[in-house]
Chains A and B, each alone.
Chain A
């Protein structure tokens, strides 16, 4: 299956700081999603982004499919941004392979 590597594994931020999370994947994909898992365990879909760039408020994401990586940008971080961020990729119509996640802690 497709291998997914996320970095860094842990990130501690001061409120208001900006950060970049990275996702590398080992094969061509037709599906790539970024999720935020909140402290209660729910996975919230942030972006569906198999290629290109998208923005949603303080978050944006870029996927360079030809180079097999995706970046998630968090600007002006807030304490509510804390949690685990997962990148998940797929090469068929169904299965997503998840990375190990980046645990983000935003301190007030």
Chain B
């Protein structure tokens, strides 16, 4: 089945230690998104790629970076995680203007 896959499902890191989350898709969609969702809140868009074109939300902290080496993969890098970055990170894909499909998420814990 075509799908969006996120690894790992759970990630524990130390305060200030860089961490990378990964997302892959078999849907061949040209748009990929990263969202942050904190407890009891709605998902918040961090950035998206249209093919290789990177689009950052204005309020996304500089601590968050992303890479998309090819159509299928996208990575979220958190350079120096703080306690406030503990959250669920959701990857989604879509065709332009179409339905967004979400992966299962990576739950990040910062100690």
Q: Please measure, in the bound complex, the distance between the C-alpha atom of A43 and the C-alpha atom of B105, giving whole angstroms.
A: 9
Contact, CB under 8 Å: B48 / A33 = no
Given contacts A30-B97, A31-B97, A41-B88, contact A96 B45 (CB under 8 A): yes
For A, the interface residue count at a CB cutoff of 8 angstroms equals 21
Q: Mark A36-48, 1 if CB is under 8 A from B, else 0.
A: 0000111111001
Instruction: Give the contact stretch, choosing among A18-26, A64-72, A73-81, A97-105.
Output: A97-105
- Chain A residue numbers with a CB within 8 Å of B100 are 33, 45, 88, 96
| CA of A30 to CA of B97, assembled, Å | 8
The answer to whether B98 has its CB under 8 Å from any CB of chain A is yes
Chain A residues near B42 (CB, 8 Å)?
86, 98-101
A45: contacting residue among B44, B55, B99, CB under 8 A: B99
Is B75's beta carbon under 8 Å from chain A?
no
Q: Are A48 and B98 in contact (CB under 8 A)?
A: yes
- B43 contacts which chain A residues (CB < 8 A)? 43, 86, 98
Instruction: Report chain B residues within 8 Å CB of A43.
Output: 43, 90, 92, 102, 105
- Docked complex: B34-83 residues within 8 A CB-CB of A: 37, 41-45, 48, 50, 55, 57
Q: List 8 A-B contacts (CB under 8 A).
A: A35-B102, A41-B88, A43-B92, A45-B102, A48-B99, A93-B96, A95-B45, A100-B41
Write the residues of chain A forming the contact surface with B, with a CB cutoff of 8 angstroms.
30-31, 33, 35, 40-45, 48, 86, 88, 93-96, 98-101
11 other A-B residue contacts (CB within 8 Å) besides A43-B102, A86-B43, A95-B57: A31-B97, A33-B99, A41-B37, A41-B105, A42-B103, A43-B43, A43-B105, A48-B98, A48-B99, A93-B97, A94-B97
